[in-house]
Structure 1
Amino acid sequence: MIVILFRILILIAIALLMYTVYQYYRNPMRKLRIAKTRDEFFLLDELQNSKKNVQFVYKGCLFEGEKYVGTTEDSFEVVNIHVYTPEPDDLRGITRDDLYFLEKELLIRYPYAKIEWKHPINKLILTPVKE
C-alpha cells in the first residue's frame, strides 16, 4: 500500500515539475528579458486590459507606457500613452528615428493614442509624427 502511494506521489511530483517548466517557457517577462539581452524589438501588452502598462524593449532599452482611456467619436479607447524608461542609462545609442519607429509601432496597436515621451526622452523629440 505504501509503495503504491509513493508511486502516485512521484507521478504527481513529475507532473508538477513539467507544468512548472512549461509555465517558465511561456512567461512573457522571460521573453522580454531575452529580447533585451539580444537587442531586439519585443512588445509586451494586453490590448484588452487598459489598466496594464505596455512594456517594450528596443536596442537593449526597456520602455514602459502608461495607458489612459478616453473617449473618441464612437467609443472609449486608449487616447494617451505616457512612455518612460525606468533605466535612463540604457538610452545610450537610441536615435530620433528609433523613437519614431517605436511611436509607429504603438500607433499600429492604438490608432487613437497620443504618445507622450517623458523626461529625458522628450528632449530628443523635436517634431511630432505626421499621421
Structure 2
Amino acid sequence: MDVADEALMEMARRASESAYAPYSRFRVGAAVRTLAGGVYTGCNVENASYGLTCCAERSAVFAAVAAEGPGMRLVEVAVHAAAHSVPPCGACRQVIAEFGPQARVLFPSGGVVTVMRADELLPARFELDPPG
C-alpha cells in the first residue's frame, strides 16, 4: 500500500464513524476515488425495514455519481468495518463492477489490507446493454 492507499483507507475509517447502525451496531465506511480524481465517502445507513438498508460502498459510489454524473468511473474503493474485517457484499460488488470493473478494492482482512480488482471479487457480474 502506498500513501494514497493509506489516505483512502483512513477516509473510509472516518466515514464509518458516521454510520447509522442502531440495529446491527456494525459500522462500515467507504471511500472511492474516481478517474476524474474525485474522492467521495459513504457509510452504511440502516432502517427498521432491513431491506431498505444501504451499505457504505454503495453510498460512496452513489455520492460519486451524484457529483460527477453518469459517466463517473471508479479507480479505487476502500472499505473499513469498525467491528471486524469483511470484503464488500455481493450487491456492493455488482455496483462497484458496474462503474469500475478494473477498480482496485482495498479492505482489511486478517490484520493486513487485501487489494483485489473488482472483476476478481465478482468475476461473473450481471451485465445488460442499456437501450439506445
- Normalising by the residue count of structure 1, what TM-score does the alignment of the two structures yield? 0.33
Kindly name which structure, 1 or 2, has the bigger radius of gyration based on alpha carbons. 1
Which protein has the bigger helix share?
1
Structure with the bigger RCO (C-alpha within 8 Å, sep 6+) is 2
- Normalising by the residue count of structure 2, what TM-score does the alignment of the two structures yield? 0.33
